[in-house]
Amino acid sequence: MAKTYHIITFGCQMNERDSETLAGMLEADGFVKTEKKEKADVVILNTCSVRENADKKFFGVLGQLKHPKEDDPTKTVCVCGCMMQQQHVIDTLKQKYPWVDLVFGTHNISDFPKLLHGVRETNSKVVEVWEDGRAIAEGLPAAREFPFKAFVNIMYGCNNFCTYCIVPYTRGRERSRRPEDILAEVKQLAASGCKEITLLGQNVNSYGKVKHGEGSYCYLEEPEGQQVDFAKLLRMVDEVEGIERIRFMTSHPKDLSDDLIEAFRDCKHLCHAFHLPVQSGSDAILKKMNRHYDRERYFERVEKLREACPDIALSTDIIVGFPGETEEDFMQTMDLVRRVRYDSAFTFLYSVRRGTPAAGMEEQVPEAVKHERFNRLVELVHEIQEEKAVEYQDKVLPVLIEGFSKTDKTMLTGRTESGKTVDLPGSADLIGQIVPVRITKAQTFSCYGEVAE
């Protein structure tokens, strides 16, 4: 009987892509995926450390594995990802979760098969976490979740050190993949029938930037010797035959170049959607966050984006209740949201992350104040989304059909270029196809439609 595995992924698309690699390695070793974590021979929890809620979910799920492990000591419980890059988390696992067999981090995923074999063959416990990244391992197998859309890492790590964020400490310094390796992966995906790719990095806008001497930088070069920044990479990917949609995330406003903005005008397959996290509308808070731009610089970038691509859909991240945030600061955030009019916004209550500068800042905002401001912000965001939804009514839009709706198995579901979810009647043979869909009912968060004649 084949050995089985189950992977639980917390957090961002980078973690989802890492989990595909872990799954690919296991399947290359003869393992078969199972949907039941309690029955799996190998269980992996791929963790996220960005917000406190993700920590709580991880420990909750890990607790559920205690009895299955006691019932079957041959089961192997593995934990990896960003949380494992923090020593206090490892200490907690050792003290309170003895049923964990293998701990590894974000930098040594390529060593997973060797580590797993060692644990299972010797019945020992292993903790192996590298402090920082080394050479990028290319050519690792991947069990892709979808055949028609895929994540493609273009870089790893982050150099920005926003004061609220743990990512630079868990993912390490920025390291970019070579453009030829990225293009080879995209071409391979296209040849296998993939239609949409999402290029991933903690800050894709700084792709290709490498340290060159004290305080200076240059960019990666392709084999012909031409320097490649992110805008250039997008143009190269845009030429790959078979790829019909290109997305990317995440971008940092401080590194948003005119050349990248112009790519939205020039590239045939680049989706007219841009996730541009602002985090706050207050210059004082942005400075405390170490974001390296102010609100006027952000507005100027947004204006240029809309000049180059008038129908672009903008989304963002906003943190409410950062230390020292006053009512006036918050009202500046509300004003920014009204001016930009986002198509969608991911709103978060500030979460203290141990090891970050913000965790030690004075003037932590009371929870009640955070929640009250958060509710006002969400109400405004939804009000704008509702107004924007009307613009979809009766339009015919290309929609990538991704599968059957989770809430209604008789309906298909897909996404527009802007990322709007559309449910529609249809048969399974449409899954993986980009089809013209007439929007028959536009709603705040999703739409209903029908295949256009």
How are beta strands 421-424 and 209-211 bridged, if at all? unpaired
- Strands annotated E in 62-116: 76-81, 102-104
How are beta strands 196-200 and 245-249 bridged, if at all? parallel
Question: Which pairs from 297-300 meet CB under 8 Å and 24+ separation?
Answer: 297/253, 297/254, 298/253, 298/336, 299/336, 299/339, 299/340
Closest CA to 51 of 348, 400, 301: 348
In the chain, what are the domain boundaries?
4-128, 146-271, 307-391, 393-451
- What count of residues does the chain have? 453
* Chain centre to alpha carbon of residue 406: 21
Residues 6 or more apart in contact with residue 56 via CB below 8 angstroms: none
Pick the CATH number of 307-391 from 3.90.226.10, 3.40.50.300, 3.50.50.60, 3.30.750.200: 3.30.750.200
Q: How far apart are CA 12 and CA 291, in angstroms?
A: 20
Q: In the 8-state DSSP scheme, what is residue 82? A: G
* pLDDT tens for each residue of 157-208: 999 999 999 999 999 989 999 999 999 999 999 999 999 999 999 999 999 8
Pick the CATH number of 4-128 from 3.40.718.10, 3.40.50.300, 3.40.50.12160, 3.30.2320.50: 3.40.50.12160
Q: Quick check: helix, strand or coil at residue 452?
A: coil
Closest CA to 12 of 167, 195, 169: 167
* pLDDT tens for each residue of 316-342: 999 999 999 999 999 999 999 999 999
CATH classification (class only), 393-451: mainly beta
| Greatest extent of the chain over all pairs of C-alpha atoms, in Å | 64
3-state percent breakdown (helix, strand, coil) of the chain, nearest 5 = 40, 25, 40
- Fold observed for domain 146-271: Transcription Regulator spoIIAA (3.30.750)
Q: How far apart are CA 41 and CA 33, in angstroms?
A: 10
The residue assigned the tokens 């706050």 is: 280
Identical fold, 146-271 and 307-391: yes
pLDDT tens series, the chain, 453 aa: 789 999 999 988 999 999 999 999 999 999 999 999 999 999 999 999 888 788 889 999 999 999 999 999 999 999 999 999 999 999 999 999 999 999 999 999 999 999 999 999 998 899 999 887 778 889 999 999 999 999 999 999 999 999 999 999 999 989 999 999 999 999 999 999 999 999 999 999 999 887 655 555 566 666 666 789 999 999 999 999 999 999 999 999 999 999 999 999 999 999 999 999 999 999 999 999 999 999 999 999 999 999 999 999 999 999 999 999 999 999 999 999 999 999 999 999 999 999 999 999 999 999 999 999 999 999 999 999 999 999 999 999 999 999 999 888 899 999 999 999 999 999 999 999 999 999 999 999 899 999 997
